[in-house]
Amino acid sequence: MLVGLKRVYDPVEEGDGLRVLVDRLWPRGVRKDDPRVDEWLRDLAPSHELRREFHGKGAYADFVERYRAELDTGPAADAVEELRRLVAGGDVTLVYAAKDTEHNNATALRDILRL
């Protein structure tokens, strides 16, 4: 199955499959019933502390390693299993609000989980 990455503000395309928001906070300017988001797995997002440190100009490699550890515990681990079930069912696009399209939690998540 294909796992894509897109900003939540990008238009929906036919090949997107299920669009899963992986941010902790709902994106600004996007209504809760907006068709750009099919599922919201907020527990997949980094903790508030880790997110603040990364946005405070923390090193991306450090962020990825700490994020990997967070995904192994608690509600995040359950959300990882849910995401794997969704991916097994068809194409999925991980959507996020970050402006940086190369260094963000969705990119890290896909790489960590090898999706």
* Per-residue model confidence (pLDDT) at position 17: 97
Task: Report CA 85 to chain centroid distance, whole Å.
Answer: 15
| Location of structure tokens 């960590």 | 112
* Per-residue model confidence (pLDDT) at position 47: 95
Q: 3-state DSSP call for residue 104?
A: coil
Q: Where are the domains of the chain?
A: 3-113
The model's confidence at residue 113, banded by pLDDT at 50, 70 and 90, is very high
Name the CA radius of gyration of the chain, rounded: 13
What span, in angstroms and rounded, lies between the C-alpha atoms of 95 and 93?
6
The model's confidence at residue 115, banded by pLDDT at 50, 70 and 90, is confident
Dump pLDDT digits (tens) for 43-96. Answer: 999 999 998 888 767 789 999 999 999 999 999 999 999 999 999 999 999 999
pTM: 0.93
First to last CA, the chain: 9
Dump pLDDT digits (tens) for 10-46. Answer: 999 999 999 999 999 999 999 999 999 999 999 999 9
Q: H helices within the chain, ranges in order? A: 48-55, 60-71, 74-88, 105-113
Q: 3-state DSSP call for residue 88?
A: helix
Beta carbons within 10 angstroms of residue 19's beta carbon? 23
